[in-house]
Amino acid sequence: MFDYVHLTQEGYRKIYEPVLVAVNAALNPDP
């Protein structure tokens, strides 16, 4: 059976996690 939900969740995580980290770093720069 094709695990579409798991694949989609992993895909979103791979796409959006680095983006969210970059945005968070831009909005909250470390001193």
Task: Give the DSSP letter string of 1-26.
Answer: ---HHHHHHHHHHHHHHHHHHHHHHH
pTM for this structure? 0.49
Measured in degrees and rounded to the nearest 5, phi and psi for residue 14 equal -65, -35
Classified as helix, coil or strand, 27 is helix
Query: Is pLDDT of 1 > 90?
Result: no
Q: Where are the domains of the chain?
A: 1-31
The single residue listed with the structure tokens 């983006």 is 19
Q: What is the pLDDT of residues 3-28, one digit of tens each?
A: 777 778 888 888 889 899 999 999 99
